[in-house]
Structures are given as structure tokens and as C-alpha cells.
Amino acid sequence: MPTGPSAVRHLPQELRLGNLRVGTPVVLAPMAGITDAAYRRLCREHGAGLYVCEMITSRGIVERDAMTMSMLVFDETEDVRSVQLYGTDPVYIGKAAEILCAEHGVDHIDLNFGCPVPKVTRKGGGGALPWKRTLLGDILEAAVRATEPYGVPVTMKTRKGIDDEHLTYLDAGRIAQDSGCAAIALHGRTVAQAYSGQADWDAIGELVAHVDIPVLGNGDIWEASDALRMVEQTGAAGVVVGRGCLGRPWLFRDLAAAFAGESVATLPNLGEVAAMMRRHAELLVHHMGEVRGCKEFRKHVSWYLKGFPVGGDLRRDLALVESLGRLDGLLGLLDPEAPFPVSELGTPRGRQGSPRRVVLPEGWLEDRDGTDPVAAEDLASGSGG
């Protein structure tokens, strides 16, 4: 691996997605249930980059489903609005993309073709869809056509394929390029792998060599140094970071510094982490009100405290917090001087799971060029990936 200033010189300094210029080639991965307006703001307060919202279903937008619309929320400081759309039907996707541009001032739309959740792949959506090359092209073209008048770039995010015998990423890259997509992001795993094993960065390099549009590399970036290594190894135009920033929004500071040629490893002590937790909860409450905001905050507690010396009772109480007042009281019980647990650096966080059989619609693998969505689109979906 090349090191030192000569390697740093070759790093991308910004990311260009059509007309959209992102000051640092770093993207917060869309994560359902995580990358809401509060979390995007928290991450943005530390770094620079593109912060994508949770996956939103196109049918939910078109039918103005209340649950879907409640997810389509932007922070008042969010100057670049980036939305991930899910769908299997070009008509819904096109209409939803138009609504996002015309009524919600969205600046970037990403399309989800990587979700491994059985509820989604069973209907031919998410990571199952790229197998149908014609349908994939129809969906991408519908989105690009709808957003073109607004100058809003469309990107797609996908996996290597359904499993090792049914790889789709190289075809998907060509189809994305031919459809007018501004970039393609590749998570270097198959749907069957879910989050298990190691992301295949060689596949990212192969895709870079295969297409002319920017490729964003995704999978297993736990530290800023991993991001540089991925870009150096693959030639990717930028990185997409998901689980590595769970409970670590400051990773975006390290990433921005790394792409600017500096080496920064932020190691907050427990007092600083507690302040970050308070800020996160406060932003959730700002967007969702105290009851729902505190409830949403609970899932982040174990990620923030990972590796710190905090007793089980206190962890449990924090994970049941129901008000900001109670949170303040509990955070006050933490030892503010406890140093960051450096043994956690570079280690996986969040979902890992194990390989699984991919649930597909009947006969799905028999035809690679289908055009019909097999089932009605889901109205709302609480899970992504």
C-alpha cells in the first residue's frame, strides 16, 4: 500500500455528481431507522460530505402516505437534500422523483438496489432487482428523465449480485451509465452475504475499470485510514460509510481530514461522548418531540458506549430513557475521564449477521431481461440495507 505525501496527492478532493459538487468525497450511507434528519445534522456538524436520508418508498411518496411523509423531513440547516428512493415500478419511481424535486427541493436522489431484507427481495426489489436488466434500465431512465429538468443527479446503490453465482454489478454499472446516472455505489457483498464476511474491494476496483461514471466504494470502512486504503486500492471516486459511524458521528471529521491529507483520529473520552449523546438526543427531540425522539435515541446508546467501562444497569437505564431530563441525570453518572477504548478502533460495529438463502419471486432467476415488476410496490418499508 502506498503511503506518505505522494499517495495523498492522488486522493480525490471532491465528489462530482452531475451538477452537484460535494466538498469531500465522503457519503453517509443511507441506513433505515438511523439516518434521519437529526443524525444527518449531527454527522454534518463534524465533517463534510453528502448525507443521505433513510430509504423512502416511491409508492409512499406518490400516494402521500402519512408514515412515508413523516420520514421526508430535512433539518433547517440541511443545504443539500439527499434522498434514497426505493421502488420496483418505473412509473412510481418517475412520479416520486418528480415530487421530490418539485415539492421538496431535493438536490440528489439515490435509488436502492441493494436491500437484502426478505420482505423486499421476495417482491423482486432491492438487491434482487438488478437481475432484471431491462427493468433496472427502465427504472433508472424514469428517474433520470424526471429529475433532468431540475438538474438533480440520480445515483444507484447496489451490491455485487444476488449470490456468487448470480453477480449483477458489472451489468448494473453499464446500465446506470447508459441511463444517465451520475454515479454508482457498490457495497462489496452479495445479497446472500447480507453483512457477513468481508466486503470485496476488488469488485469495486473492477467496477471502476468497467464504467466511466464515478464509482463510490462501500463496505467495511471502520476508520478514516480504511477509506484512504479503499480509494487507493480501487480507484473509487469516493466512499460510502455506514456502520463505522454508528455511535461515532465524529468519524466524519477524521474522514474529511484524511481526504485533505491530514491524519486525525478523534478519540473522545466518555465525557465528550456523553455530550455527543446529549446533542444527538436533543436533535431527535427537536425533530420528533420528546417522547418519540427519546425512543429513537435508545437504539444508539450501545453504539456510543461500546468498549467504555459502563455498568450493565446504567446501560440498561440509558437504553430505556424517556425524557431529556432523565438522560441528563443518567449521563451525569458516567465517568467523564474514562479514555476512549482504543481496542475498538478498526473493529466492526452494528449488524454483521450470517449468510442466508435469498428469498426471490418464483422463477426470478430464469429471465434476466424482464420488464414487469412482479408485485405491487410496498407502500412503506421500515427496513433497508
Ligand X SMILES: Cc1cc2nc3c(=O)[nH]c(=O)nc-3n(C[C@H](O)[C@H](O)[C@H](O)COP(=O)(O)O)c2cc1C
Q: Which of 47, 137, 370, 385 binds ligand X (CB under 6 A)?
A: 385
- Interface residue with ligand X among 34, 85, 204, 270 (CB under 6 A) is 34
Q: Is 101 a catalytic residue?
A: no
- Residue of the chain from 243, 248, 253, 287 that contacts ligand X (CB under 6 A): 243
What DSSP assignment string belongs to 217-266?
EES---SHHHHHHHHHHH--SEEEE-GGGTT-TTHHHHHHHHHTT-----
Q: At its nearest, how many Å lie between ligand X and the CB of residue 365?
A: 22
Q: Are 187 and 215 in contact (CB under 8 A)?
A: no
373 touching ligand X, by CB under 6 A: no
Chain position carrying cell 433520470 = 144
CB 18 within 8 A of CB 224: no
Which one of 218, 249, 256, 294 is in contact with ligand X (CB under 6 A)? 218
Contact flag: residue 384 with ligand X (CB under 6 A): yes
Cα separation of 32 and 381, whole Å? 9
Contact 346, 223 (CB under 8 A): yes
- Least separation in angstroms between CB 385 and ligand X: 4
Among 48, 72, 172, 221, binds ligand X (CB under 6 A): 221
Binding mask 139-168 for ligand X (x = CB under 6 A): ------------------x-----------
Q: Select the span of 137-145, 168-176, 213-221, 258-266 touching ligand X (CB under 6 A).
A: 213-221
- In the structure grid, which three cell numbers stand for residue 28, read together? 453517509
Query: Does residue 84 touch ligand X according to CB under 6 A?
Result: yes
Q: Does 128 bind ligand X (CB under 6 A)?
A: no
CA separation for the pair 57, 85 (Å, rounded) = 6
Residue whose C-alpha cell is 437481475: 131
Q: Which is catalytic among the residues 43, 53, 115, 181?
A: 115
CA distance 378 to 87: 8
* CA dist 348 → 47, 216, 251, 331 (Å): 21, 20, 14, 25
Say whether residue 300 binds ligand X (CB under 6 A). Answer: no
Query: Which one among 112, 147, 190, 234 touches ligand X, defined by CB under 6 A?
Result: 112
On the 0-12 / 13-18 / 19+ scale of CB atoms within 10 A, 23 is: middle
**Part of the chain binding ligand X (CB under 6 A), chosen from 2-10, 217-225, 321-329, 369-377:** 217-225
| Binding residue (CB under 6 A) for ligand X from 94, 114, 130, 173 | 114
Residue 248 in contact with ligand X, rule: CB under 6 A:
no
**Size of interface with ligand X, in residues (CB under 6 A):** 25
Give least dist CB 191 to ligand X, A.
11
The vertex-131 CA angle with 129 and 137, nearest 5°, equals 70
31 touches ligand X by CB under 6 A = yes
Quick one: which of 213, 223, 273, 215 has its CA closest to 252?
Answer: 223
Say which residues have a Cβ less than 8 Å from residue 42's Cβ, sequence separation at least 6. Answer: 249, 276, 279, 280, 283
Give the x/- contact pattern for ligand X in 50-69, rule: CB under 6 A.
----xx--------------
Q: Could you say whether residue 117 binds ligand X (CB under 6 A)?
A: no
What angle in degrees, to the nearest 10, is found between the helix axes of 290-298 and 270-288?
140
Answer yes or no whether residue 42 interacts with ligand X by CB under 6 A: no
Cell of 307: 468498549
Minimum distance between the CB of residue 335 and ligand X, rounded to whole angstroms? 29
Q: Does 29 bind ligand X (CB under 6 A)?
A: yes
Name the residues that contact ligand X, by CB under 6 A.
Answer: 29-32, 34, 54-55, 84, 112, 114-115, 157, 187, 218-221, 241-244, 350-351, 384-385
Active site residues: 115
